[in-house]
Structure 1
Amino acid sequence: MKTISTLVTASILAALSFGASAATMVSAEQAADMQSIGTISVSGIDGVPSDINRQLSDKADSAGAKSFHIIEAHNDGSYHVTAELFN
């Protein structure tokens, strides 16, 4: 009985995580074939590139985008990154 409970719980969690999709970063080549829906930027980030990617993905999700491509990035003590959004 405990095994069945565990399997049901795992199945429910898998279904929930599958439904929650995050915007993904695409290459310039991939972006060339996509329709742009705008741009976003994040600033003042002290951290590793994965922190920047996570913030861009979250912001792209909030804007309704499925993917993004970084078009500008610089570091003057903290990062500033601009990305183009795509559906």
Structure 2
Amino acid sequence: MNVKTTVAAASLLSLLSLLSFGAFAAESVNADQAQNMQSIGTVSVSGVSASPMDINAQLSQKADAQGAKAYRVVEAYLNGNYHATAELYK
């Protein structure tokens, strides 16, 4: 059940990032796009409650603060609280 929740949360975050990528400097990319980019680390966000769009915005802000041009959600789950981790790229 947790795997399904994790996959659903990651899919939703990816979809929302595609719809709102123009609002952020660091854009969300998929695994295929990331193959041609250089990884520069990871960032994570977590909290009591938030919408997927809020989580995506927080990941983008953290990516911007690290100087990343793009990020890819590599882990996301919602189980009362949320948590998401993204890999950052130049």
Q: Please, what TM-score do these two structures have when normalized by structure 2?
A: 0.70
Counting matched residue pairs gives: 67
1:68–1:84 contact (8 Å) kept in structure 2: yes
The residue number in structure 1 matching 2:62 is: 59
- Counterparts in 2 of 1:45 and 1:34: CA distance versus 1, 3 Å: farther
**Larger C-alpha radius of gyration, 1 or 2?**
1
Unaligned runs of 5+ in 1: 1-20
Please give the secondary structure, in 2, of the residue aligned with 1:61. Answer: helix
Unaligned runs of 5+ in 2: 1-23
Please give the secondary structure, in 1, of the residue aligned with 2:37. Answer: coil
- RMSD between aligned alpha carbons? 1.2
Higher relative contact order (CA 8 A, sep 6+): 2
Could you list the runs of 4 or more consecutive aligned residues of structure 1 that deviate by over 2 angstroms after TM superposition? Answer: none
Q: Please, what TM-score do these two structures have when normalized by structure 1?
A: 0.72
